[in-house]
Amino acid sequence: MPDTSKRIYIFDTTLRDGEQSPGVSLNVEEKLKIAHQLARLGVDVIEAGFPIASPGDFEAVRAIAREVEGPVIAGLARINDRDIDRAWEALQEARRPRIHVFIATSDIHLKYKLRMTREEVLAAVRKGVARAKSYCQDVEFSPEDASRSDIDFLCQVLAAAIESGATVLNIPDTVGYATPAEFGHLIAEIRRRVPGIEKVQISVHCHNDLGLAVANSLAAIENGALQVEGAINGIGERAGNTALEELVMALYTRRDYYGCHTAIVTEEIYRTSKLVSSLTGMPVQYNKAIVGKNAFAHEAGIHQDGVLKERTTYEIMNPTMIGVVQSNIVLGKHSGRHALRSRLEELGFKLNEAELDKAFARFKELADRKKEISDRDLEAIVEHEVKQIPEKFALEHIHISTGNRVVPTATIGLRVGEELKEEAACGEGPVDAAFKAIDKITRIPVCLKSYTLNAVTGGKDAVGEVTVKVEYAGRVFIGRGISTDVLEASARAYVNAINKVVYEIGEENLQVLEA
């Protein structure tokens, strides 16, 4: 039997590198929700953000450091005094803080980005790591663009970081350039050539520009890496990061080959994926490994026959392993609060009484429109309708007049406090008309940047899930809405985005258009 005692540590950067995905913008509350879920998932380290980047990033890191227990909480910093000081200011209340410092080491970065000599980089590493170490014992150092760096210089830099107090050395394939054989060899060479390497943990951070991030991370593990950095659903800069759910399930499913284990609670993978997708507004592709809609679907007759006779003929993983729960309870318009609460708890949702009241009201409203409510419908209700920010504007009613030979017209009613306000508008289409009517009521000058519509489930009565991104004062806000009526879902999503603008900017700071 293989030795399965080798522990691989999971460093999650969904809230830092993942949030750098184009079009993604999370507020403090959303980051906290994800961080708490990551703790339930069992990740070892949460990279909560880049504190120097913005006041919002700083506040998010500080809030996570204060509130989230279990994982190490890390903050990223360039290797200069200001960044490091700011990172510690945000992290200092964490029970297990880590400062993660970095500087580029490839000649192309030194020449064109940093405009520094190798000697200057070495001096900066010694000074920066030592400064971080003066604040906390756990210091991670990353030589950015390591996979394109000169190996001799890279080893010099890593040795300097160890001498200055680094506890983790993270080797990034920053631009996703390496191949698995190359990257595995790089890790082996670092282990062989860097003095003091046995004192620290080797980590890797791989990008997916060539679709090799998970493969490169696995190759690194085979060559001695003990920590892997990545993001849920593989989100991140450009083509993204190592998809942590893929890496974890590869190690579990092929533990006979890798001889490794993690502390991940695999039953939380699916829920974590859905939460990240919902809050970032980044849908998961249908054929995405592990968490995609089609990951456990079988279309071919031969496959279906095989699975019915013996699941393992065509399924190397059981869907329940990642938290895809099958239930015999059928929910409909006659179901009560107890049945709803029980099913939501099976799906992993713990709601307080106020949240349950809101979920039950939306459930009953939806049940009047479709015969049976699926688990995905319930997930959408909780993700999009229940765990939401306070509402300045609430959709009361919507009426649309449209057709191929009429001008699309929308009449919208929004409740603002105790007052019901109504407006009508025409548009290029029914959604455009609805959004213009909402604009006339809210008078907040947002700019629609994107609109996406997905069916939550199949069938004629499928629930439509709409995600919109709006821009206000240079910031992007994501709104979501669901309904069996896609026009209603669109209105709900747009109102949700505007409510986020009000909540995050503050009413007193808004520029409101003249009536």
Q: Judge whether 17 is annotated as a binding position.
A: yes
CB 31 within 8 A of CB 67: no
| Helix, strand, coil tally for the chain in percent (to 5) | 45, 20, 35
Terminal-to-terminal C-alpha distance of the chain:
75
Q: Tokens for 89?
A: 């200011």
CB 47 within 8 A of CB 19: no
Find, among 229, 223, 167, 172, the residue nearest to 198 by Cα: 167
Find, among 423, 405, 406, the residue nearest to 414 by Cα: 423
Q: Judge whether 338 is annotated as a binding position.
A: no
The Cα-based distances of 63 to 13, 48, 55, 229 in angstroms read 16, 9, 12, 22
Torsion of CA 429, 431, 435, 438, to 10 degrees: 110
167 vs 195: CA distance, rounded Å: 14
Q: Judge whether 173 is annotated as a binding position.
A: no
444 vs 446: CA distance, rounded Å: 6
Find, among 433, 16, 426, 410, the residue nearest to 205 by Cα: 16
343 vs 363: CA distance, rounded Å: 12
Q: Judge whether 207 is annotated as a binding position.
A: yes
253 vs 35: CA distance, rounded Å: 26
Q: In the chain, count H helices and then E strands.
A: 17, 16
261 vs 252: CA distance, rounded Å: 7
Q: Which residues are annotated as a binding site for Mn(2+)?
A: 17, 205, 207, 241
Q: Which residues are annotated as a binding site?
A: 17, 205, 207, 241
